[in-house]
Amino acid sequence: MTDDATTRGEPGGGDGRVRVAVGSWVDEELCRLIEESEPRAEVLRRQDLYRPMRFPADHGGDPAFERSERQQREFEELVDSADVLYGIPDTDPAQLRRTVRANPRLRWVQTMAAGGGAQLKAAGLDREELDRVVVTTSAGIHGEPLAEFALFGVLAGAKGLPRLERDRAERNWPQRRWLMSQLSEMTVLILGMGGIGRAAAAKFSALGARVWGASRSGRPAEHVEAMVPLEDLARVAGEVDALVVTLPGTESTEGLVGAELLGALRPGAVLVNVGRGTVVDEPALVRALEAGSVGFAALDVTAREPLPQDSPLWNHPQVLISPHNAALSEHEPRRITELFIENLRAFIDGGRLRNVVDTVEFY
């Protein structure tokens, strides 16, 4: 993902204001916040046309909701009249493609998802369309909750959570006490130094861990003692007690955490994935768990979601599964809206937009 990009909004409404269409459910209070914060924008929405949310951050909405032919036509007319989309229509890449092609005035789309690059790629837009319409994501909004889950995962492994749970279930008080690892004595390697990685580095550092980082850019980061080149990951893995994955899912990151890297980790190392499931080679992870090079894995994401019923990860005693749930917060909708307002001002003023999707790597 590029850090930013410069663009200028050209007022498209009859009153000279930029027309913003809401593409999926956004609470009316937040729609009014956009209007109040940026009076140069006209916010178009029809709450009766959106799929209602079933739970927090359910941006796709209830799949059981169906529009009549008339309602679908009205929904498409709404999004096709805008200069800007706040949310991909129905969070559906096919609807994004349809809208871009039906609406030549569309200039910018803000996705609700941090991983909006995958949605853009799935839309299958051609190069002219990708150059015409800037797409930005909500990256960074979920940094704090995911960093907390990363901390929780490493601590769960360090303190032997599976063993404690088994002993509790069996009402077993071991005759011999056993050693737990101390976070302040561990080396934690964070793979991916975006918003999640930086937030995680701050938390691990605050508790005394030695923090290393790795990213494509290799730029130094606060709270990170050393940056490891990606090509050297397997070489230094033997010095690492925990590996935290925060990378997006792209062609270049698919299977990056594979047999070589997992097998090179210090025996009993902890693996936490709060990035994208495709980054970790899951069959290789199962083998590493059996071999002992990985002692515990906490996964908030998996390569296929939902995780298939026949996956050996479900029943593995040293694996903790979270159903892509760790990023959720009751404050998420407002935080995304505040990010959108910041970008909207920049769009109108010809400033720099945050979280612009790279249309080659799609992240």
DSSP 297: E
Catalytic (active site) residue 324: yes
Which residue in 324, 335, 345, 352 is the catalytic one?
324
Burial 5-34 (b: 16+ CB within 10 A, else e): bebebeebbeeebbbbbbbbbbeeebbebb
CA dist 80 → 23, 120, 334 (Å): 10, 17, 25
Q: Which helix (H) or strand (E) holds 4?
A: strand 2-6
Which residue in 45, 276, 332, 354 is the catalytic one?
276
C-beta neighbour count of 149 within 10 angstroms: 22
Catalytic (active site) residue 142: no
Which residue in 77, 165, 305, 331 is the catalytic one?
305
Rounded to whole angstroms, the Cα distance separating 91 from 96 reads 8
The full DSSP string for 217-275 is S----TT-SEEPPGGGHHHHGGG-SEEEE-----TTTTT-B-HHHHHHSPTTEEEEE-S
Catalytic (active site) residue 177: no
Q: Which helix (H) or strand (E) holds 298?
A: strand 294-299
Catalytic residue positions, numbered: 276, 305, 324
